[in-house]
Structure formats: C-alpha cells, structure tokens
A and B are shown apart, each in its own frame.
Chain A
Amino acid sequence: MVPPLYFIVLGAVVFLIATLGFLTRRSLIQALMCLELMTSAVVLTFLAVGRTMPDGGLQGMALATFLIVIGAAEVGMGLAIVMLYFRRHGDATTDDIDLLRG
C-alpha cells in the first residue's frame, strides 16, 4: 500500500500550483479552472487521511462526495457569472472587474 504521506504531499503540491495559477492568471475562466484543480487536491487529501482511519475511509469518502458536489455547483455558478459579465462587457479578465475598487 502506498503511504498516505505521499498522497497528502502530492495534494499539497497540486493545491499550491493551483493557488499560484489562481493568483496570477488574469482570465476568470482560468481562475475557475484552478479552483477545480484545488478542489480535486483537497478531495485527495480527505481520501488519503480518511483511508488511515479505523472505519476504512468511510468518513473521508462521505466528506469527499460532498466536496465534489459543492465544487461542481461552485464552478457552474462561476461560469454563469463569467458568461453574464462577458455579455455585458465583452471580456472577462480580473483586471477589468474593478467596480468595487475604492
């Protein structure tokens, strides 16, 4: 069996790569793609930690199920907002969206 530490470190590394992308990419679509990658990395961590528990990973699997569902809902909403913004302004980059800037 592969030690859970490997999965956890991989999850952290992918999460950090996705964070870097989320902070640097200017397109909202790519920001959402990074969010999706982050969700998968967190699910991997949940499953890896859950697998070491005495219940055979049941708790981790249940939490991961909810996490995937929430992730799907979040991306769906985010893309709807991107579409709406694009239709109104013709582009959707994080540089343009500064309506709330003080």
Chain B
Amino acid sequence: MTGLVVFFAVAGVIVASSVAMLVSRDFVRSVLFLLLALCSFSALYALLDATFLALLQLFLPAGAVTVVLVFVVMLTRPKVADYRTLLQRQTLYAAAAVVAVSAPLLDALMRMVATLPTTVTPAASTRDLAIALMGPYAAPFELASVVLLAALVGAIYLAREAE
C-alpha cells in the first residue's frame, strides 16, 4: 500500500518535471527539471529493490551528467528559446509520429506483461549483482570500461583547444 502511494507520487513528479523540462525556455531551469526527474527515477529503482542501481542513478546521470550539462550551458550560453520555436509546424508532425509509435509500443508492452511470471521471488542483493558482474557478465563489464575509456579520450580530443 505504501509502495503504491510512493509510486504514484514519484511518477507524478517524474511526468511533471519531464514536461516542465521540455516547455521551459530557460536552459538552466530545464537542466534543473531534468535533475529532479533523474533523482525521482532513482527512487523508483529503489522501489524495485535495485539499491545499487538507485545509487548509480544518483551518482552518474543525476550527479555527473547534470553537472556537465550545466557546464556546457554556461560555456555555450545558448540563446533563450523563443515561444515561436516551441510551437512550430514540426511539433505537429512530431506529435503525430509519437502517437503513431505509442500505439504499437503500448500494445507490445501489454502483451509482454501478460507473459510475465506473477510469483514474487526474493530480490537479488547488491552482493549478488557484484558476483554476477565479476562472473557471467565479466566480458561485457570489461567491454563497458573500454567504451568509457574510449569516450573519455574522444571527448578530450574533441573538446580540447585547437593549437
């Protein structure tokens, strides 16, 4: 029961802040709404018994990525969006495309949910996840570190001052 209350409260915050992020004209405010949405997602991960993922969400997307986003907004000082660019002709096409995608997407999700097992199993702990990441998932885990290193080097190479 408490779980349901928490879920609907957090879900409301997420949907409201995502919409606010989209319609906000000021970039810094937009980033702050994104921060709120990402932190709320972490609460939902905790509700799904994924404690480690909840913390990871707080540190990486909510912590590191928003800080970098604020830095880029400050460094590039983008122009404040005009209201005209919020409501333009392509918004209509985009909305039509999203609605067209949403129907088959929701249909597929509903059919998938019907096949899910309903028995409740005890949640896997962070310890189990650590053992799994070092055991059966060791290869993708190492690959992820290579991807991160490549992204780091690439980002430094791209963003450095040209000589």
Residues of A within 8 A of B (CB): 1-2, 4-10, 12-14, 16-21, 23-27, 29-30, 32-34, 36-37, 39-41, 43-44, 47-49, 51-58, 60-62, 64-66, 68-77, 79-84, 86, 91-93
Q: Are the C-beta atoms of B98 and A20 separated by less than 8 Å?
A: yes
Evaluate contact between A68 and B147: CB separation under 8 angstroms: no
Give the contact-size bracket for chain B. 35 or more
The docked-state distance in angstroms from the alpha carbon of A8 to that of B88 is 31
Q: Which of B1-40 contact A (CB under 8 A)?
A: 3-4, 7, 11, 14-15, 18-19, 21-22, 27, 30-31, 34, 37-38
Do residues A79 and B98 form an inter-chain contact, with CB atoms below 8 A? no
* B104 CB, nearest partner CB in chain A, Å: 11
Task: Contacts A12-B102, A83-B158 given; indicate if A61 touches B90 (C-beta within 8 A).
Answer: no
| SS class, residues of chain B in contact with chain A | helix
Distance in angstroms between the alpha carbons of A83 and B75 in the assembled complex: 8
* Residues of B that sit less than 8 Å from A by CB: 3-4, 7, 11, 14-15, 18-19, 21-22, 27, 30-31, 34, 37-38, 41, 44-45, 47-50, 52-53, 56-57, 60-61, 64-65, 68-69, 72-73, 75-76, 78-79, 81, 85-86, 88, 90-91, 93-95, 97-98, 101-102, 105-106, 109, 112-113, 116-124, 128-129, 132-133, 137, 140-141, 144, 147-148, 150-152, 154-156, 158-159
A-B contact pairs, 7 of them (CB 8 A): A18-B18, A27-B78, A40-B61, A43-B57, A47-B45, A65-B52, A68-B56
Contact B102 A16 (CB under 8 A): yes
A30 lies within 8 A of B27 (CB)? yes
Residues of A within 8 A of B45 (CB): 43-44, 47, 64
Is the pair A65, B113 in contact by a Cβ cutoff of 8 Å? no
Partner of A68, one of B53, B76, B91: B53
